[in-house]
């Protein structure tokens, strides 16, 4: 039986991979409807099924006791969750006592202007901001009505608050090729990293992902026609592989779940806002943490459930894009957590 004491090695799967990174979703809701992530008319989980902020804190602290050292708060859009800053403030105690090394956030940026300072005060040192285009009209089309100006205001606020910013861009055919040079210049002239991500077959969006899909092998070739890239060994805890741009001194990350999945070094798990633990983004494995949370005030059963689930973490995923098929994974990325 696991005791409620810290462990630096409790979360090691059967392939010898140590899990030290939790992506914790606080909501499946979002104020945008990006065409590769959501359908235009989404059905969200009932609020009663969503973990409370106290329950989310219990989950996070259980993972910390089991050896997780980095937590990323995700959504949906995490900053639409009422009171979410309280969760950051609560977990900041784990940063202060050294049991947690990093607390970060992935956001679409629409609410950063009002929350950036509070996030910095809670110990957040860097944020990932999703931004797929610098064209206001294209941004509105890709997000189904979003405002680019609002996101740019959020980026300004984050940097003014002292937060390091990395831009996440989903590579989309017919869009990213046109703007990749501008995106590199925009990010690097402001001291921000840029990470490119291949679109994945998660959830029904009403769009054909085969039409959207742009392999990063092709996009990198296009980048190298203008920019000089040198692969570097930088690791930030996630799946990206990085290259430095000689002309700017900045860094580009490449996340390639379709062309090269890097599952052999996976150190991550995800917990949805409903308390479902997924040990692999691209598989349907699941462990219900909510039922355990709500049946016992002790964290020992919760930690035992987590440790047991890790023993069944899959070796990897094998995403396939097929025009004739339904999405490979039924759940949306917004429900799983980015």
pLDDT digits (tens, 9 = 90+) for 78-102: 999 999 999 999 999 999 999 999 9
For residue 315, what pLDDT band results from cuts at 50, 70 and 90? Answer: confident
Tell me, what's the pLDDT at 317?
58
Q: Which residues are annotated as a binding site for [4Fe-4S] cluster?
A: 30, 34, 37, 263, 266, 280
Helix (H) or strand (E) holding 186: helix 176-189
Tokens at 263, concatenated: 């599952």
* Annotated binding-site members: 23, 30, 34, 36-37, 72, 76, 106, 130, 166, 200, 263, 266, 268-270, 280
- Residue range 133-183, pLDDT digits in tens: 999 999 999 999 999 999 999 999 999 999 999 999 999 999 999 999 999
Alpha helices in 72-207 (DSSP H): 84-96, 112-121, 136-142, 148-160, 176-189
Residue numbers belonging to the annotated binding site for GTP: 23, 72, 106, 166, 268-270
As a whole number of Å, the end-to-end CA separation of the chain is 32
pLDDT at 326: 46
pLDDT greater at residue 255 or residue 37: 255
pTM surpassing 0.95? no
Query: Which residues are annotated as part of the binding site for S-adenosyl-L-methionine?
Result: 36, 76, 130, 200
3-class secondary-structure state, position 27 = coil
Percent of the chain's residues with pLDDT above 70: 84
- pLDDT for the residue 235: 78
Quote the radius of gyration of the chain (alpha carbons, Å): 19
d(CA 69, CA 95): 9
Range in 60-64, 159-163, 240-244, 261-265 the model is least confident about? 261-265
For domain 21-336, give the fold: TIM Barrel (3.20.20)
At 241, phi and psi to the nearest 5? -115, 140
Q: Which of 276, 249, 264, 256 is nearest to 331 (CA)?
A: 276
């Amino acid at each position: 039986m696991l005791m409620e004491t810290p462990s630096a090695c409790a979360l090691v799967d059967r392939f010898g991979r140590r899990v030290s990174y939790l992506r914790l979703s606080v909501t499946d809701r979002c104020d945008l409807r990006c065409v590769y992530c959501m359908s235009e008319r989404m059905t969200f989980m009932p609020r009663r099924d969503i973990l409370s902020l106290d329950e989310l804190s219990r989950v996070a602290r259980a993972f910390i006791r089991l050896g997780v050292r980095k937590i990323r708060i995700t959504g949906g859009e995490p900053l639409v969750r009422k009171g979410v800053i309280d969760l950051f403030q609560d977990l900041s105690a784990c940063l202060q006592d050294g049991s947690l090394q990093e607390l970060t956030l992935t956001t679409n940026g629409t609410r950063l202007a009002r929350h950036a300072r509070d996030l910095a005060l809670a110990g957040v040192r860097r944020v990932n901001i999703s931004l797929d285009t610098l064209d206001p009209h294209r941004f509105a089309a890709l997000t189904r009505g979003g405002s680019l100006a609002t996101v740019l205001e959020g980026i300004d606020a984050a940097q003014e608050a002292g937060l390091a910013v990395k831009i996440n861009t989903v590579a989309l055919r017919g869009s990213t090729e046109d703007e990749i040079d501008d995106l590199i210049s925009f990010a690097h002239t402001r001291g921000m990293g840029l990470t490119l991500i291949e679109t994945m077959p998660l959830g029904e969006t009403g769009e054909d992902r085969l039409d959207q899909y742009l392999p990063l092998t092709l996009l990198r070739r296009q980048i190298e026609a203008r920019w000089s890239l040198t692969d570097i060994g930088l690791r930030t805890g996630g799946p990206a592989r990085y290259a430095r741009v000689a002309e700017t001194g900045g860094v580009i990350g490449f996340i390639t779940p379709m062309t090269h999945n890097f599952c052999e070094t996976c150190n991550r798990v995800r917990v949805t806002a409903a308390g479902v633990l997924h040990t692999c983004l691209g598989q349907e494995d699941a462990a219900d943490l909510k039922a355990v949370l709500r049946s016992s005030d002790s964290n020992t059963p919760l930690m035992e459930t987590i440790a047991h689930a890790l023993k069944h973490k899959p070796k990897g995923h094998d995403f396939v894009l097929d025009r004739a098929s339904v999405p490979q994974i039924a759940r949306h990325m917004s429900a799983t957590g980015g």
